[in-house]
Structure 1
């Protein structure tokens, strides 16, 4: 559906244009451009909007296709800029992604949104309160969108970091419980987050570095700023991924150590039980000639020997840390 559509002249919204065709005609006027936003549009809505601005069919395919990687493509004077959006459900500790497909021309910008994350109503409102900045044209709008999306990246990274720190503390706690399942689950979410944001680096660099006729020089510092912010988010994500890998290795090492301790403990008790069992087995054979059976002190001596031997074994195992 069409969320909002408006024509802007010198950075100020014009309300009297009420049709796409009229908007397309007026957008060619000096210092004017159209801004149209769509969310989960139907195919007919896309044909109506994109057709009104003579956008090529291949671009329409991009607008229909969801789950694309971030990219920058040029088709004549129209730039297609795809941005992945990210939404984090803190209750489920899960990442879901969407995308924004932006069609940018000197006279218009059309933004198609699929999936979760980064509603752009606030972007339009904020930019309309900055007419001097909005007067720089469609690339000023794209900057506002990117700034909003990358700011969401930063917030989500902070939420993910809280979960990473929490699970790291659990791994190194006194609990004998294994946390590998939780680490794997969180690592999967971090990887999905990385796959959503990292591909945006190259298109953003290309947009700023390559010479473009309609790209205002005044916007370059702003784009460099959000590019730096994106790079920091990517570094943050890489750091969390590495931290989870280390936590997983530590958890597996702790499990292995615990298993070794259990094996040693069982072995020690088996040894303690084996010695009296061996002695009892010998005397249970009922040989005819066993002189100590007739000896007055034979029984207490055997019992004392068993207790002493077991006590010595227990002492040695305890000292070695096996018990």
Structure 2
């Protein structure tokens, strides 16, 4: 879908409303340049754009593929393809959404192909149109505006990830276990974000090195400095999440150890109780048998005391002595 298509001369937009593709291609032969913006175009739309502006088929194929790393490619026709990864933090879902912008750059035209909701460029076009001195530098000025907006969009993502990491960190280092899957999810998002930010340093350095317009050099350096700071922050977040993950696993291990200790203590009490009642059960079961000798020879009060009470007390005393002996051996 064509979002906007405009012709710029001496830093000023010519005419009102978007241009048609044949009209835009014809204006490329005149003064100034054309900026064509596409959002998630269909295959036939990209084919039409490729034929109209005589783009290399491999460049168009790259624009249709969702890349994991930003890059710069130069083709024989003098067209440069710059691929950027965009990012946006979703507060409701507490996750990072990624998009992509493919920029076809030539002296007479700029074609931007956006993929994903996180790749909005309307603000960059409006801001650049309000800076005619930068817009007058040509297509490189447009590339600077796009880079500047993409890098500025990284700042809220860094802040959103930082907030989530602070919450997880506070939970873990307070001694409570945090959901491990949440930490893994945050680390995956930070890794994907790092893959979008870090390779862009090389892209910005290449643009800064090859830009022929002196007026753009300070602005490109500013983008590079801002991007360097974000790259350092994202790398630090990845390292911190690794530390938090290890600490969380340690907290989980401590909790499991505590549960194991409580279970062992419970089993020890049950074992002692079973050990106490085992000889008592044997004595009462033995003397509860209805053998004739037991019935005829054990009668009266003293046989009851000797065989009945004594038969219960003596095993308990022997068991107590055995348990104390075992405790004294373990204490050594």
Contact 2:175 2:251 in 1 (8 A): no
**How high is the TM-score relative to the length of structure 2?**
0.80
Indicate which of 214, 225, 240 corresponds to 1:228.
Answer: 225
Contact 1:73 1:79 in 2 (8 A): yes
More displaced, 254-263 or 39-48?
A: 39-48
Aligned equivalent of 1:79: 80
Q: For 1:67, what is the secondary structure of its paired residue? A: coil
Q: Can you give the 5+ residue segments of structure 1 that lack an aligned partner in the other structure?
A: 311-323
Shift, 1:131, TM fit:
0.6
Does 1:248 pair with 2:245?
Answer: yes
- C-alpha distance in 1 between matches for 2:151 and 2:270: 66
* Higher helix proportion (structure 1 or 2): 2
Shift, 1:207, TM fit:
2.1
Indicate which of 219, 234, 239 corresponds to 1:237.
Answer: 234
Query: 1:252-291 CA deviation, whole Å, 9 max, x = no partner?
Result: 1111111212222222333334334323323443389xx9
Aligned equivalent of 1:35: 35
Cα distance, 1:65–1:285 mapped onto 2, change above 3 Å = closer
Contact 2:5 2:20 in 1 (8 A): no
Aligned equivalent of 1:130: 131
Aligned equivalent of 1:261: 258
Aligned equivalent of 1:160: 161
- C-alpha distance in 2 between matches for 1:284 and 1:47: 91
Cα distance, 1:302–1:72 mapped onto 2, change above 3 Å = same
- C-alpha distance in 2 between matches for 1:59 and 1:266: 65
Contact 2:104 2:111 in 1 (8 A): yes
Q: How does 1:74-153 map to 2 (within 5 A)?
A: 74-76=74-76, 77-153=78-154
Contact 1:38 1:113 in 2 (8 A): yes
- C-alpha distance in 1 between matches for 2:45 and 2:266: 76
- C-alpha distance in 2 between matches for 1:240 and 1:156: 12
Q: Can you give the 5+ residue segments of structure 2 that lack an aligned partner in the other structure?
A: 288-302, 324-332
Shift, 1:294, TM fit:
2.8
Aligned equivalent of 1:208: 208
From the CA coordinates, give the structure whose radius of gyration is larger: 2
Q: For 2:115, what is the secondary structure of its paired residue? A: strand
Contact 2:88 2:156 in 1 (8 A): no
Cα distance, 1:251–1:24 mapped onto 2, change above 3 Å = same
Shift, 1:50, TM fit:
3.2
Q: For 1:243, what is the secondary structure of its paired residue? A: helix
Aligned equivalent of 1:26: 27
**How high is the TM-score relative to the length of structure 1?**
0.82
Contact 2:100 2:119 in 1 (8 A): no
- C-alpha distance in 1 between matches for 2:105 and 2:42: 20
Query: 1:132-190 CA deviation, whole Å, 9 max, x = no partner?
Result: 11111111111111111111111111111111111222223454x55212111222222
